[in-house]
Amino acid sequence: MLSSSRLLALSTLVISLVLDSASAIVPPGQQGAFNQSITQSSDGPTTDADLIAQTVKQVNQKSGAPDDEAPDADIPPTGVTAIDGVLTSASVADVTGLNSAHRRRPRHYFGRFDRRQSGFEEIFAGLPADQHDAAIEGTAFLTYTLVPNSTYNVDACLTWAATIDGCVFVNLYYEFNNYLLDFVFSEESNLKCAAYGDIHNASEKTNFGGQASYPQVDNNTVPLTFITQSSGWGLQSLIDPADPDGYSLVFGPTGGANNAPGFMGFAFIDRYDVNACAQLCNGRGIDPVGGGCAYFNIWRALVDGLPTTYTCAMYYLVTDESTAVNTGQGDLVVTYSRGYKRISVLPDGGFESYTACDDFCFTTSYATWTGTSPSGGSQDASIFFHPPYAYTGHSVGLLGSAEDVDALLGTLSPAAPLATKAGVLYSIQCFMNTAFSGSAVEASANV
């Protein structure tokens, strides 16, 4: 089955020419100018850090184990809580239109089980058994289970946590007066173990219970739920994620988000999931100037020191740590910032490794590309170093006679076979310009 999680970007730039020997056009081989002025790729918009910060204030991603749902529910796929400043509640598949079957996470996405299990430590202890306590309401709640309550069963909770994909923290507590725990669920236990994909601390104990769970009988007061001995166990930091399919890590983790050009927009997701962010980048669509998403920056937002949301910012230009300068604003602090760029299976898709001069030169082949003319043609496929011809950078591929000596189109081919993989779906991105010879002459161009 084709997997769109392996989308790879190709980026080439081609000028199409059909020259008319009767015209007065100065051909590219003689450094002629474009007939029509062209819109060269600008740097485009930069990161809208203010909109991101405003949206962080509006979003609420904090939750915990529900008091009215059965334990051991499947972990839902990573959700999207905001897109470009508008709050939403959607799955990544809804947002991208990519089939959910294509975006399974690798099994060891957050690292190996043994690493996590051995790394869990007590982050905060529960209050003494005779006092009311509170359960965590925090980001990245995954699922919960009930562990045998004959003792305060930390081991059972941590053993279970090690089987939960993405779990880096658990909150263990008793919940009293919950009718479902006391009389319905087969576990016959009121000791809840709730798994999270982020690490929380005692200041996030905000769920004190207080629900009426028992049925009303006669005029008797219905006892309200309450919590005791709420402790937290977790890692000291989030585990380094594996690179998403089709992407490579550019930098991170650091405390700086990118403030960079080529910004396409952002999404908030409900856990720190680099694969979800990669899927959002794959499915982001095409910027009419910059093309597809080529880079994303994922980071965790702390507000007043507490995990609040996970930003996925998307760019059509690749950037790096040099622009990762936004450490936050006000009570918002950037943490776990990582940049990933899309891997292109096409080496040198922008012809930028052709550097035989520093102003103007051209060739029919060099290390990474080979131009071939049709029979009887000459220089019908070539590569130019000349920044005014280039869409980005300094070089461009040319299809059409470089010296205006025939009306044939040649072929530009990568010098080495592309390392594509069977069964993988690739997207091809090509910036093309046919404005060199003017609309009348180019009318019969057939690229």
**Rounded CA gap, 337 and 272, in Å?**
10
Q: Choose between 99 and 151: whose C-beta lies nearer to ligand NAG.
A: 151
Please pick, from the candidates 154, 202, 242, 343, the single residue that binds ligand NAG as defined by CB under 6 A.
202
Q: How many residues bind ligand NAG (CB under 6 A)?
A: 19
Quote the least distance from Cβ 403 to ligand NAG, whole Å: 18
Quote the least distance from Cβ 212 to ligand NAG, whole Å: 16
Quote the least distance from Cβ 307 to ligand NAG, whole Å: 9
Please pick, from the candidates 11, 12, 41, 190, the single residue that binds ligand NAG as defined by CB under 6 A.
190
Position 441 contacts ligand NAG (CB under 6 A): yes
Q: Which stretch binds ligand NAG (CB under 6 A): 72-80, 226-234, 261-269, 432-440?
A: 432-440
Position 218 contacts ligand NAG (CB under 6 A): yes
- Which residue lies nearest ligand NAG, judged by its C-beta? 305
Quote the least distance from Cβ 49 to ligand NAG, whole Å: 22
Please pick, from the candidates 261, 321, 438, 445, the single residue that binds ligand NAG as defined by CB under 6 A.
438
Q: Choose between 89 and 236: whose C-beta lies nearer to ligand NAG.
A: 236
**Pick from 412, 413, 407: which is nearest to 446 by CA?**
407
Cβ–Cβ < 8 Å for 203, 306: yes
Which x/- pattern over 256-295 shows residues binding ligand NAG (rule: CB under 6 A)? ----------------------------------------
Quote the least distance from Cβ 305 to ligand NAG, whole Å: 2
Position 439 contacts ligand NAG (CB under 6 A): yes
Please pick, from the candidates 186, 216, 219, 375, the single residue that binds ligand NAG as defined by CB under 6 A.
219
Q: Phi and psi for 191 in degrees, rounded to 5?
A: -100, 105
Q: Which stretch binds ligand NAG (CB under 6 A): 72-80, 97-105, 367-375, 435-443?
A: 435-443
**Rounded CA gap, 23 and 184, in Å?**
87
Q: Choose between 244 and 328: whose C-beta lies nearer to ligand NAG.
A: 328
Please pick, from the candidates 49, 59, 181, 238, the single residue that binds ligand NAG as defined by CB under 6 A.
181
Q: Choose between 118 and 439: whose C-beta lies nearer to ligand NAG.
A: 439
Spell out the residues 6+ positions from residue 120 whose beta carbon is closer than 8 angstroms to its own: 158, 161, 170, 233, 234, 235
Position 189 contacts ligand NAG (CB under 6 A): yes
Which x/- pattern over 111-150 shows residues binding ligand NAG (rule: CB under 6 A)? -------------x------------------------x-
Dihedral angle, C-alpha 257, 293, 16, 14, nearest 10 °: 60
Spell out the residues 6+ positions from residue 335 whose beta carbon is closer than 8 angstroms to its own: 253, 255, 299, 300, 301, 302
Footprint of ligand NAG on 8-37 (CB under 6 A): 35
Rounded to the nearest angstrom, the gap between the alpha carbon of residue 318 and the centroid of all alpha carbons in its chain is 13
Footprint of ligand NAG on 298-337 (CB under 6 A): 305-306
Q: Phi and psi for 12 in degrees, rounded to 5?
A: -125, 165
99-109 burial string, b = 16+ CB within 10 Å, else e? eeebbebeeeb
Q: Which residues bind ligand NAG (CB under 6 A)?
A: 35, 124, 149, 181-182, 188-190, 201-203, 218-219, 305-306, 438-441
